[in-house]
Amino acid sequence: DAKTTQPPSMDCAEGRAANLPCNHSTISGNEYVYWYRQIHSQGPQYIIHGLKNNETNEMASLIITEDRKSSTLILPHATLRDTAVYYCIVNNYGQNFVFGPGTRLSVLP
Amino acid sequence: EAGVAQSPRYKIIEKRQSVAFWCNPISGHATLYWYQQILGQGPKLLIQFQNNGVVDDSQLPKDRFSAERLKGVDSTLKIQPAKLEDSAVYLCASSLVLAVSSEQFFGPGTRLTVL
């Protein structure tokens, strides 16, 4: 079973920030938080990962709470091409990933 | 760089038949994964290779599924015999190394329909 809980779906207006939450209350000290997304009919795509510090790359920002029990993926300026299922995964050492059902993000024009 | 290649893209078979899927990972990637994704669900890891050795196959139904990665490069996943519940997309992924910071690159998948 997945170690994370995500809302099944969310909407976001084009050009606005999309904030996708993830709860991982049983995360262990050596486990990282990973985010992947899957656009329709494609394989999943890596977005970002982090341990305890906030992380930012060209795609998104990852905000992890101080107690590490939850995190938020932020897409700063969502576009229609960001419509996808977003998966939050908790894992150590990068193996044996367990994908949950994820959050279906719809970016609306 | 070229991505992860998979073939065929689509396959339709009848139950009790056999089927095989092929995956060519990104050049130089030591770790290879096979996932099964049933419609409406997230991908489920079936087997993970490090070079040509198996790292994890705990969720592989070994009575009907088998996989190999000869010479630590290409890999094949076989189902024999297929059941109706095997209808799914089979995804192959690879990563440079088995490490926390090593992202997985996924192929387009093979959509299997078992009638």
A105 against A2, higher pLDDT = A105
How many Å is the Cα radius of gyration of chain A?
Answer: 13
* Chain A closest-CA separation from residue B75 CA (Å): 17
Residue B94 pLDDT greater than 70, yes or no? yes
CB-CB neighbors (< 8 A) of B43 in chain A: 44, 97, 99
Whether residue A98 and residue B55 make contact (CB cut-off 8 A), yes or no, is: no
**Structure tokens that stand for A52 in this block:** 């305890």
* Percent share of chain B, pLDDT over 90: 84
At B36, the pLDDT band (50, 70, 90 cuts) reads very high
Task: Report the phi/psi class of residue B63: left, alpha or beta, with left for phi > 0 and alpha for psi in -120 to 50.
Answer: alpha
Q: Which of A29-43, A59-73, B27-41, B97-111 has the lowest mean pLDDT?
A: B97-111
CB-CB neighbors (< 8 A) of B101 in chain A: 49, 94
Mean pLDDT of chain B: 93
Question: Span B5-13, mean pLDDT?
Answer: 97
**Structure tokens that stand for B31 in this block:** 């770790």
Residue A96 has a pLDDT of: 73
**Structure tokens that stand for B72 in this block:** 């630590």
Task: Report the phi/psi class of residue A59: left, alpha or beta, with left for phi > 0 and alpha for psi in -120 to 50.
Answer: alpha
When scoring B46, B89, B100 by the number of chain A Cβ atoms within 10 A, the one with the most, hence best to mutate, is B100
- Tens digit of pLDDT for each residue in A24-55? 999 988 899 999 999 998 999 999 999 998 99
Residue B100 pLDDT greater than 70, yes or no? no
At A84, the pLDDT band (50, 70, 90 cuts) reads very high
**Structure tokens that stand for B35 in this block:** 């996932």
* Percent share of chain A, pLDDT over 90: 83
Distance CA(B35)–CA(B88), nearest Å, equals 10
CB-CB neighbors (< 8 A) of B55 in chain A: 95
Distance CA(B54)–CA(B37), nearest Å, equals 21
**Structure tokens that stand for A88 in this block:** 């939050």
Residue B59 has a pLDDT of: 92
Whether residue B100 and residue A32 make contact (CB cut-off 8 A), yes or no, is: yes
Residue A94 has a pLDDT of: 65
Report yes or no: A43 at the B interface, CB cutoff 8 Å.
yes
Residue B81 pLDDT greater than 80, yes or no? yes
Residue A92 has a pLDDT of: 78
**Structure tokens that stand for B93 in this block:** 């992924």
Question: Span B52-68, mean pLDDT?
Answer: 94
- Tens digit of pLDDT for each residue in A96-109? 788 999 999 999 99
Question: Span B67-92, mean pLDDT?
Answer: 95
